[in-house]
Amino acid sequence: MAQSKQPGASNTRSLNLGIIGAGRIGRVHAAALAYHIPSANVKIISDIRSEAAQEAAKEFGIPKACEDYQEILESDVEGVVICSSTDTHSRIIEEAAAHGKHIFCEKPIDLDLQKIENALKAVEKAGVTLQVGFNRRFDPNFKKIKDSILAGKIGTPQIVRITSRDPSPPPLEYVKVSGGIFLDMTIHDFDMARFIAGEEIDEVFVHGANLIDPAIEKAGDIDTAVVSIKYKNGALCTIDNSRKAVYGYDQRLEVFGSKGCLISENNTPTRTQLWDSNGQSQDLPLFFFLQRYTDSYVAEMQEFVNCVLDKKKPSCSGNDGLIAVVIGLAAKKSYAEKRPVKISEIRKL
């Protein structure tokens, strides 16, 4: 689990921030900044629901709460953390850049590629930092696998296997506006596939089904998917997704290479096992992403703060956010047309 605030930033100066959106993910980032990152100072939080902003401000010791995020952009904070609904992300990025604010934005930047490109151009023109919230890159288990690959422990990666299954489907109203499973859920796995292998994706082929909730199908989405990926260097990857794993939040990763194999199993509350006459048993996986990825949320926010203070580029850039959406759109096209789709059909990278 993440530790209490400890000196850890690479700069003694603190970064003044505002948080836009006080929903579930906004509160996650507020907690990370308030309790674990001494070089961060959250001065203001906004939400279209005034009571949500007020409650978060009180809980995390934030001096000011407001409804209109324009108050944050017009304030003296140096950076913003965008945790509002997806349909607002690209617009707020452009506005924040115009105000000279450094930006951390939750995924996806937008569901429309042109809007993403416009946002990235605004960031480049303003010369501000933009980091996209693909927190799984910062998970200690997955980071250890990445570091081991870079150290040559398994030689050249040949097969990547990613399992990502939620314990229960999201609310139907969310499904209707999320962009679908590939741009909401699998988008994390597309980014992980690129990050772990260190290779760009050339082609995707999707099999999808509705096996859990008929209402999801009526909303125009699927709840179960298997994605086959071919990298540009010829290596392969499979991703399997389900909206309902009755035993908890199933997050596993395996990378097979020319010299060996790296495996990350599920995190559980304890690592103990019971062996008796009935067999063997152990704890179920942690139940949801808030428990499973606690450390990763702190680590990604620490990187953002450090990058701004030290004038460095973040490891998860706006371009990474763009590419993940391109892959998601290719996956949607593959499912709709029942064929392999080249990433270049959506956009040349």
> Is residue 10 assigned to a domain?
no
CB 40, CB 79: distance < 8 Å? no
Q: How far apart are CA 343 and CA 194, in angstroms?
A: 13
In a domain, 2, yes or no: no
* 260-264 and 250-257 beta bridge pairing: antiparallel
Answer whether residue 4 is part of any domain. no
Answer yes or no: is 169 within a domain. Answer: yes
pLDDT at 158 over 50: yes
Residue 171 has pLDDT above 80, yes or no: yes
- Report the alpha-carbon distance of residue 259 to residue 245 in Å, rounded: 33
Model confidence at 6: pLDDT above 70: no
**C-beta separation of 170 from 261 below 8 A:** no
Check whether 340 has a pLDDT greater than 80. yes
The pLDDT of residue 11 is above 60: no
Is 164 within 8 Å of 182 (Cβ atoms)? no
The three-state secondary structure class of 282 is strand
Global confidence as pTM: 0.92
Same domain, 157 and 256: yes
Residue 113 and residue 213 in one domain: no
- pLDDT, tens digit, for every residue of 248-270? 999 999 999 999 999 999 988 88
Same domain, 73 and 208: no
Same domain assignment for residues 158 and 121: no
Alpha helices (H) in 178-317, listed in sequence order: 181-184, 186-197, 214-218, 289-292, 294-310
Are 127 and 233 in the same domain? no
Q: Is 5 part of any domain?
A: no
Residues in the chain: 349
CATH label of the domain that carries residue 43: 3.40.50.720
Q: Is the pLDDT of residue 1 over 90?
A: no
- Residue 8 falls within a domain, yes or no? no
Residue ranges making up the domain that contains 220: 140-292+323-345
Is residue 241 a contact partner of residue 247, using CB atoms and an 8 Å limit?
Answer: no
In angstroms, the Cα distances linking 132 to 107, 120, 188, 304 are: 6, 11, 11, 9
Domain shared by 65 and 204, yes or no: no
124 shares its domain with 204: no
Cα–Cα distances in angstroms (integers) from residue 332 to residues 24, 184, 230, in the given order: 27, 12, 16
Residue 183 within a domain: yes
The tokens 């150290």 sit on which residue? 151
Residue 237 covered by a domain? yes
User: What mean pLDDT, rounded, does the chain reach?
Assistant: 94
Count of structural domains within the chain: 2
Same domain? 144 vs 284? yes
pLDDT tens figures, 58-100: 999 999 999 999 999 999 999 999 999 999 999 999 999 999 9
